Structure 1
Amino acid sequence: MGRSSKDKRDIYYRLAKEEGWRARSAFKLLQLDEEYRLFQGVQRAVDLCAAPGSWSQVLSRKLRGGDEQSRGVKIVAVDLQAMAPLPGVIQIQGDITKVSTAHEIIGHFEGQPADLVVCDGAPDGNVENS
């Protein structure tokens, strides 16, 4: 189903498109950083439930400052869905509830803990309670 005309009138939807963000949710993370200084001192970050990648974009721009080769900064994005590549972001297509995915994330940090983990995911409405 396509986007409704109401979505296209939303100021954050239009602003996201103008500024090159993949989704308007980028502004949520930018606002959180502005208020709580989330990115201060962060060298290793994980974005869980990352698709379509707007939060990974924010992390890349804020932590790398446009420099794909920024020293020491590692950003890992994880989602079940494939995402278009992002400069300076390591992407894992996997299930965040699987231990194997956790090990893969940890492997990219070479034994160091993540400084920041963000997640803008929501449970699938079709998931059954177990």
Structure 2
Amino acid sequence: MGRTSKGKRDVYYRLAKEEGWRARSAFKLLQLDEKFQLFSGVRRAGDLCAAPGSWSQVLSCKLGVRPPACTVAVDLQAVVPFAGWCRSRGTSPGCPRLRR
């Protein structure tokens, strides 16, 4: 038999929860930003297939929460919102207005 889900949780999973990130993938984006300065000069960003929201969370922290900074997260699944970004479910009628 395989391990239980608790046994599969690695150090990055635990660290993400301790530091308040939504998923361990936040560390990969932080690592990429450190190496390539991905967010230098960026004020607006989109996160497609955003659930659970860890990349949007990193974007929000890196870009800030004051206008004109904005992170738009789009996903068919519900994503819990937080300061600095707006969300839209992929099929909602308000999607075209977000592009303007």
TM range (shorter): 0.7 to 0.9
Distance 1:104 1:32 in 2: 29
Residue in 2 aligned with 1:123?
Answer: none
Q: TM-score under structure 2 normalisation?
A: 0.86
Higher relative contact order (CA 8 A, sep 6+): 1
Question: Given the alignment, which residue of 82, 88, 104 partners 2:95?
Answer: 104
Distance 1:63 1:86 in 2: 14
Distance 1:41 1:109 in 2: 20
Contact 1:76–1:91, Cα closer than 8 Å, also in 2: yes
Where has structure 1 moved over 6 Å in runs of 4 or more? none
Distance 2:36 2:99 in 1: 24
Cα RMSD (Å):
2.0
Q: Which runs of 5+ in 1 are unaligned?
A: 111-130
Percent pairwise identity = 60
Q: Does 1:14 align with 2:14?
A: yes
Q: Which runs of 5+ in 2 are unaligned?
A: none
User: Deviation digits for residues 4-50 of structure 1, max 9, x if unmatched?
Assistant: 12233x11001000000010010111111011100000011000110
Residue in 1 aligned with 2:89?
Answer: 93
